[in-house]
Amino acid sequence: MRHDLRLLEAAALCAMALTVLLSVLTFQQTGDTVRAGVLRLHVIAHSDAPEDQQLKLAVRDALLKKGKSLAAAETKQAAERSLADALPDYRETARQVIAAHGYDYDVTISLKPAFFPTRTYGDVTLPAGTYDALRVVIGDGKGQNWWCVMFPPLCLPAAQDSTALEDVLNEDACQLVSSSPRYELRFWIVEQWEKLFCKE
């Protein structure tokens, strides 16, 4: 009797572990859909000095203003092509802002994959992982960074008819980004997995 009870407990634990594993794997696959459909912006300050942090925000504002045209893109690929063609203009805009604030820092701008932790923007939560991003490094790039979403334009001063998340993500992905990481253990599990195995 006791042996049968132990077998039953072991079977129940195995079933629960399998259920959790399948749930996390499904969550991870849906997260892959989100990462494939989103283009991020990542601005890194020269240092953590208050003036360098303010400069970072000024550069960010200028680039977001310049990126308003991305609101018209219908796909992430179209947004990436537009950005790739305009990288020299984006760099020049950043350099002008830096010079106008009295600094001679260099700035590098590239379109490349970058790792992001789980992040909430208003009522949208993006799972951790590697996303394609417009990466802006000011000077030594040793300061705190700022990130947002350029496509769909969650952080752009976009037009009303711009592409929304619902236009580029399927129903499962939209449901995922509407979840709260505060109550969703799978966000934490996936973030630890991504940090271990998928970081750039």
Q: How much is the average pLDDT of 82-101? A: 94
The answer to whether 172 and 33 are in contact (CB under 8 A) is: yes
Our count of domains for the chain comes to: 1
Q: Enter the tokens of residue 107.
A: 């700035």
Domain extent for 105: 29-198
Residue 170 lies in a domain: yes
Alpha helices in 67-184 (DSSP H): 76-100, 165-168, 171-177
Residue 40 lies in a domain: yes
Residue 52 lies in a domain: yes
Q: What is the pLDDT confidence band of residue 15, given thresholds at 50, 70 and 90? A: low
Residue 100 lies in a domain: yes
Cα 51 to Cα 5: distance, rounded to the nearest angstrom: 66
Q: What is the pLDDT confidence band of residue 163, given thresholds at 50, 70 and 90? A: low
Q: Find, among 195, 166, 180, 191, the residue nearest to 34 by Cα.
A: 166
Residue 19 lies in a domain: no
* pLDDT, position 65: 87
Q: Enter the tokens of residue 192.
A: 């630890």
Cα 158 to Cα 69: distance, rounded to the nearest angstrom: 8
Name residue, tokens 């039953």. Answer: 8
Residue 98 lies in a domain: yes
Q: What is the pLDDT confidence band of residue 127, given thresholds at 50, 70 and 90? A: confident
Q: Which has the higher per-residue pLDDT, 192 or 98?
A: 98
Q: How much is the average pLDDT of 81-110? A: 94
Cα 149 to Cα 59: distance, rounded to the nearest angstrom: 16
- The count of C-alpha atoms lying within 13 angstroms of the C-alpha of 32, restricted to the half-sphere facing its C-beta, is 7
* pLDDT, position 95: 96
Residue 15 lies in a domain: no
Residue 114 lies in a domain: yes
Cα 44 to Cα 53: distance, rounded to the nearest angstrom: 9
* pLDDT, position 24: 47
Cα 19 to Cα 134: distance, rounded to the nearest angstrom: 37
| Model confidence, pTM | 0.68
